[in-house]
Structure 1
């Protein structure tokens, strides 16, 4: 079972804490019954600051369970409210890294799709036209480089939809390595995919200055070799 340690902390002050999430950890409790990142951070802060009544931990945004990387949580209700507003007002810039096997047709580009969530199969379907009940999704991508037959992509989602990056890249013909839910031939034994939340740029909820927090690549025997391309 995963626990949070000081080495997982990317940034912390009185208002926010940024974690380098491990692929396979869930952000909030679900039907699996596995311990969530939210609970792990609460336990970490409660112990670190000796809070007899527990610490406040507010989930600002989420990452899919198999995705690793930068996730930001609030330590106060004020910070949570202000960061929720910043996300809603699109004042937050998100950057991801993805590894794919198939070469994208263009070195860089913009993907625009309409997405429909299939709640029975728990997948999101992408369309290249507007569809009934579909939600608009947009992202920018760039091929950073090629290594050992794989391509490293930088992804900047301009909207925040469930499984957006995963289904849009798959629709382009470039499913993420390990993501058999979206068309990659085989899954990972670690229940992870090669999608990493690389950085978040946002206005601090109290100081109001712009901040950027970057998450190092996982050290799992595969990801870290792509550091040479960064």
Structure 2
């Protein structure tokens, strides 16, 4: 398990910036003095501005088994999100159909009959509300590009700091408040239950919900 910093791409992109995948491979190569190419399996992704828990595979066998778990949705992925306002329902399941314009790197909620629509499902729970913001706990059921960001914005509660999907409420320079806080799955080799955690930074707007976040973290152990 590793904790991805914010504003670093998971993989190389058009920006040419150093990516997290390459950083990890270089770290493994030097830390363990491995000759030749280092194997590292990329199993899932986080958007560039999003930080938190990620898992990579160090062998091809583990990568294959973990990828299968991803496809079968047996890996629980939990996020914390700070949104503007409060959802109409304190908890629920959101289902949308999403279309990604790859040229613009923009995702849209469309009708189910759109020729390139992909079904996106998540469930959420409102944990606390403070100063016109709400802290949500989100579980992904599918892994679509920008999924949480688009679904929450479509539901009327865009993420704090998300200029792409909440430009009317957010200001340039604000950091998006979406954090991958927990991954739970069976170890691909040992078959034992494994849970990894990551907590968001103690800064605005996360610090409006410090006690609640710590309480959730302690309950998840």
Tell me the TM-score normalized by structure 1.
0.86
Number of equivalent positions: 212
Counterpart among 51, 54, 57 of residue 74 in structure 1:
57
How big is the shift at 1:188? 5.0
Out of 189, 193, 199, the residue aligned to residue 173 of structure 2 is 189
**Quick check: 1:92–1:201 contact (8 Å CA) kept in 2?**
yes
Which residue of 42, 63, 88 corresponds with 2:46?
63
Alignment of 1:52-201 (within 5 A): 52-127=35-110, 129-184=112-167, 185-187=169-171, 189=173, 192-201=175-184
Task: Give me the whole-angstrom Cα distance separating, in 2, the residues matched to 1:200 and 1:80.
Answer: 16
Deviations 1:10-68 (A, max 9, x none): xxxxxxxx111111011011111111111111121112111232532211110000111
d(CA) in 1 for partners of 2:24, 2:172: 26
* Structure 1 counterpart of 2:7: 24
Conserved? CA contact 2:43–2:67, under 8 Å: yes
Q: Tell me the distance in 1 between the aligned counterparts of 2:124 and 2:179.
A: 14
Task: Report the Cα distance in structure 1 between the residues aligned to 2:22 and 2:122, rounded to whole angstroms.
Answer: 31
Offset, 1:169: 0.4
Partner secondary structure for residue 182 of structure 1: coil
Mapped to 2, the partners of 1:33 and 1:86 lie a distance apart of: 31
Distance 1:92 1:110 in 2: 18
Corresponding residue SS for 2:55: strand
Give the secondary-structure state (helix, strand or coil) at the position aligned to 2:164: helix
- Give per-residue Cα distances to partners, 1:118-177, cap 9 Å, x unaligned: 222211111365433211111111100023332100111111111111100000111101
CA RMSD of aligned residues (A): 1.7
- TM-score (norm: length of structure 2): 0.89
Question: Residue 210 of structure 2: SS of its match in structure 1?
Answer: helix
Distance of 2:92 and 2:77 partners within structure 1: 17
Distance in 1 between residues matched to 2:203 and 2:23, nearest whole Å: 21
